[in-house]
Structure 1
């Protein structure tokens, strides 16, 4: 005899009687004069509707359920690895729980203490579904009786220290427009999720129209009955016989252009509907013509690009996706990170918004205050760099100094911080005593608390600048200061991260979901060589630093080495479709008996060529990182290129390659903390990878180009490094702020500098 399930029901409905607004929504939709008439989709899901929909999920034609079940059967143990012990799992629109049972059984098997909340509207069906689950020892079952919005409020009320996973299965998001779906998930993210909280969502793909059409119009007519039952429910809600279902047919079609299935009621004849208000007996008349349609449901389908746009618009980070065996349907695991950088290409180079500053500060605080113990801030991980404490003071000091100089005001207290923290060091690797002008290192660094207090005052100073220009246009000269200091902080964010992966005491970032590493035992196919035709391209852009007008601030800003624009002729050449991988570099070392390894690796047994790869989460096995781009110095990249009988591209060659293989900022590309580590290069050799995971070395020396004039705001920014030892790098890494991936941006490092996140792709000689 099966164990009886044990569960409780919590009624979270705020209004337990029929909402008058909902009645008005029904009537307004039916009485629409300016667009197609409509009835809210939720009307389909009364008790009988839920029962009919459950029958639909067993139909062969309705592939969505079987596809999702196949994913769960295959990947459920992988999914629940991400769910921390002590979590609350909240399912939106729980339904029959046939699929959910697989997740709960896996959680039970893992002996994780989980509270599962099943949210639904119909109490009888909720009790029936929970009763079907059986008994659990570690999983506590709770039914939530309420709407999505009420479920959101409930989730927000849970203790902040309780990890959460929201589940929205069955491609239910398809019932909303793309904009509405993104806005709903974003609302959940904003109101009810804390950093580290998970969101598991099932999404149907843009499959063949015939497959989609029959999925919503089965030969047995169950779907038609499900839709027509909604008209009966309308009469129940309105408490009067407004609509005779016999006057309507179910009409469905797939709109391939917009990627959605559309369901309607179709009038069989001219019809007059009459509604009598119970409050004052006033009558409303609604006229329908023969063949007129009443919209009842949309089911949007999503391409890969549309899925990533959905996650991006919701400001949630992507962890993993799992397709069904027939590639019809996907489960996506996304989560709320401690900060989120948008990828608005149009804003690159222009003045950042206050919101962008706040996200940048969240990122800076996540890295400096959760990954570095305050007791260890005086340590240094790279001898060529200052201890960590310098960077905590340098970033606000640079901002404060430039604001004070612009407004001709005093520095923020303590004023001597401007002397201590103004500029860091970048010594010559061959002769560390040779270094550009920098701040004098104090005998004793200021206290941690004093630096944090100083930082907060400087942040308020820049906010005050924005407040002062709410009602007027900011002069371009001030906009330049704001832009420059923003990008300076974003660049140092990446600097401190490459320092941290070299340090044994680094703590994983708080609120970031630690990856569940998977071995990539099979090497990716050899990179294709892509032919780039001869052409003339433009490098840099024109940006007059001395201009101080009130032209729109969307006119791009740029550093001194980006200007002026100049045309360069590029001869035809062939270049690899992707960067060199760790596995390929290891193969080079083994075949040449070369014991020199990249600084991004950690030796385990060098005599056997066994290494691990550094990440902010700690070292990972080479089997995990085998197909990641190798991060290395230019010297090592050149040695590999010589062995491969190839060469590094010039700056103009790499730029022309990027230009011909846009979009560089595809929402799935690995920049701006999409992931906190490099990811595999494409496994399909016909797929071209441009920006992402690591910057890329060129063979071009960083030097003054024709027309170059050093910056007056930051005179040594570029010119201090025109020493024949620095070379240009382009692109961006996983830790690069999206603004800095603008086309004209140029970065540079010493040829032998091994620490930054920089990879390489090769050209044919």
Structure 2
């Protein structure tokens, strides 16, 4: 979490409480930045609470220097105004822990976050904690506990209210009243009610016998609820963490999110020594993508402006048809005989960035456009990681002999393997709904994620608890000669494989040319090359065509997109299926196709439509280089079946 909090940020807490949770965060920041840099501002309406917090802070975070503690007695918004006045130029991170946002109605929460943004300006982020929607019986028990703690709390509140209104015998009166908890599924909230079983009178009738009072509401959230709240109130959901019961969200201002994204892009390209190379021959060179990100953003942010010739040149990349690379799957500008130099491209990018950053500051660029631009740039940063892995491979292959020293001698060691039949998890038959609603005022999602489908009946099936590992697939490649056995392959896939002269996954290579056992095998990632024994238990990354060939050799198959969602929905199965959402995109055997009622993204109508061609297939989850903001269950990544460069894993499945 603190990786998203820049050094020198002032940590500000709304409602200090015991500071036990706060201390955990502060200690981590102090360990990273040093105690002198750490500064804490606590805001609470109660001076007594602040006095207690001051003492407990030093107990929970002994590294925090007393001179760096600043306490403000005020309500949240007035406290923020005062904090901003005291530290006008500082970057602030507000901690709002304990799911206090659940005490606000949807409209109140929306207004509150808009007010925070207005008061604090763009140099602000919020670490927001929320209680998540759960099983209704679990929620009911939590607020109607067997020891009667919550009931006593609610009744105590009513006693004080009646006393303030002059009702005699309020305590004995309220003890006779009936406490009730209602779990409101429609509004996703828990309601605490008191039902008067005798009247409350103070000279006039306040509550008649049989009347009910809604004493408290505790709203619960889904991760999508908070994403929607952020979108509507002008914040960007940079990352979220969930235990399944509790959610934590890092919200950034629009401008802060864009500037951090640009910094990440610049850092990536600063590490690329030669922008002119094309590590993947069905893509453009590195330099194109630096120009493309800025050109795309400007064109989408200012659709009324006529793009320049350079903006048009960089407006869209290519997706060559792997079955016939003379053809392209998508529409794109003409490819120039020579791309602009890196120096020209950098100047072009800086000019465009200034334009749309100024547009964000002035409000000329909509919230929807900001989210579209951020997700687009973050997706491309991931594809650039695929390119960098291939660049690592090419560099490695030039020095392969030196890199292999000492490894081939171990060629006869027996590696451990897994037998797929021993780790299959049964997934129950169920109906699943794919997609999300398409209300563009509530959130940003891509067109292929919408609309929500009707329930899809999915029969029971079995799926491997773990994705296929490098060790397992290495056996298929070298011992079983899987890439030369046509019987495992779709004929079209096998033909493409032979044209590409591919004998193993694209991120693999041998340090020694004549190595039938594959002991000199290296795996290439964006950060370098690893001997296979160093990463043997990690998932293998490959194309769907390769995954299907392996599955066929095991008399299995690859699961479908609805089956993927079945695993997520089956709590028993989900607890046993490892790394479904991470360590690599999860291939499905589902063709990338629109959901019924599909409507193209207005700002980018060809985003998905060009690829509803029967050649692209759906992937779910995320890869290690996927930006956290893109990790959501509705997200549908897609690539051609034979595309071998993406960081995508698979697991075996059977009926």
Matched, 1:310 2:226: yes
Distance 1:386 1:629 in 2: 28
Q: How has the CA–CA distance of structure 1 residues 291 and 629 changed in structure 2, closer, same or farther, with 3 Å as cutoff?
A: farther
Alignment of structure 1 residues 71-82 onto 2, 5 Å: none
Distance 1:620 1:185 in 2: 46
Contact 1:152–1:192 (8 Å) recurs in 2: yes
Contact 1:121–1:146 (8 Å) recurs in 2: yes
Distance 2:319 2:459 in 1: 34
Residues 422-477 of structure 1, C-alpha deviations (whole Å, 9 max, x = no match): 66555687998x566941232643713542367469979x99xx99xxxxxxxxxx
Matched, 1:728 2:616: yes
Matched, 1:88 2:88: no
Give unmatched runs, 5+ long, in structure 1.
1-78, 236-241, 274-285, 324-328, 340-357, 468-481, 507-521, 534-555, 560-569, 669-680, 703-712
Structure (1/2) with the larger helix percentage? 2
Distance 1:226 1:214 in 2: 17
Q: TM-score, normalised by structure 2?
A: 0.58
Alignment of structure 1 residues 202-213 onto 2, 5 Å: 203=131, 207=138, 209-213=140-144
Contact 2:2–2:29 (8 Å) recurs in 1: yes
Q: 1:388 is matched with which residue?
A: 286
Give unmatched runs, 5+ long, in structure 2.
231-235, 392-417, 431-444, 449-455, 482-502, 594-603
Pairwise CA distance, 1:190: 7.2
Q: 2:183 is matched with which residue?
A: 256
Matched, 1:756 2:636: no
Q: 2:250 is matched with which residue?
A: 335
Alignment of structure 1 residues 605-754 onto 2, 5 Å: 614=525, 630-647=540-557, 654=560, 661=566, 682-685=574-577, 694=585, 696=587, 698=589, 727-731=615-619, 734=622, 747-749=638-640, 751=642, 753-754=643-644
Pairwise CA distance, 1:335: 0.7
Q: 2:169 is matched with which residue?
A: 246
Distance 1:112 1:586 in 2: 43
Alignment of structure 1 residues 193-232 onto 2, 5 Å: 197=125, 199=127, 201=129, 203=131, 207=138, 209-214=140-145, 217-218=148-149, 224-225=155-156, 227-230=158-161
Q: How has the CA–CA distance of structure 1 residues 131 and 144 changed in structure 2, closer, same or farther, with 3 Å as cutoff?
A: same
Contact 1:578–1:689 (8 Å) recurs in 2: no
Distance 1:742 1:441 in 2: 40
Q: How has the CA–CA distance of structure 1 residues 125 and 523 changed in structure 2, closer, same or farther, with 3 Å as cutoff?
A: farther
Q: How has the CA–CA distance of structure 1 residues 739 and 87 changed in structure 2, closer, same or farther, with 3 Å as cutoff?
A: closer
Q: 1:126 is matched with which residue?
A: 50
Bigger radius of gyration among the two: 1
Residues 358-406 of structure 1, C-alpha deviations (whole Å, 9 max, x = no match): 99988974664454339968344624232333234446767999999x9
Report the 3-state secondary structure (helix = DSSP H, G, I; strand = E; otherwise coil) of the residue aligned with 1:391.
Answer: helix
Matched, 1:320 2:241: yes
Pairwise CA distance, 1:163: 5.6
Contact 1:316–1:337 (8 Å) recurs in 2: yes
Q: 2:270 is matched with which residue?
A: 373
Q: 2:474 is matched with which residue?
A: 589
Q: How has the CA–CA distance of structure 1 residues 657 and 601 changed in structure 2, closer, same or farther, with 3 Å as cutoff?
A: same
Report the 3-state secondary structure (helix = DSSP H, G, I; strand = E; otherwise coil) of the residue aligned with 2:174.
Answer: strand
Report the 3-state secondary structure (helix = DSSP H, G, I; strand = E; otherwise coil) of the residue aligned with 1:256.
Answer: strand
Distance 1:295 1:627 in 2: 58
Alignment root-mean-square deviation, CA:
6.5
Q: How has the CA–CA distance of structure 1 residues 733 and 453 changed in structure 2, closer, same or farther, with 3 Å as cutoff?
A: same
Pairwise CA distance, 1:254: 1.0
Alignment of structure 1 residues 439-450 onto 2, 5 Å: 439-442=335-338, 444-445=340-341, 447-450=344-347
Count of residues in Structure 1 that have an aligned counterpart in Structure 2: 533
Residues 144-163 of structure 1, C-alpha deviations (whole Å, 9 max, x = no match): 20112223334555466546
Matched, 1:144 2:66: no
Report the 3-state secondary structure (helix = DSSP H, G, I; strand = E; otherwise coil) of the residue aligned with 1:729.
Answer: strand
Q: How has the CA–CA distance of structure 1 residues 571 and 720 changed in structure 2, closer, same or farther, with 3 Å as cutoff?
A: closer
Contact 2:620–2:637 (8 Å) recurs in 1: no
Distance 1:571 1:322 in 2: 28
Q: How has the CA–CA distance of structure 1 residues 393 and 321 changed in structure 2, closer, same or farther, with 3 Å as cutoff?
A: closer
Contact 1:523–1:626 (8 Å) recurs in 2: no
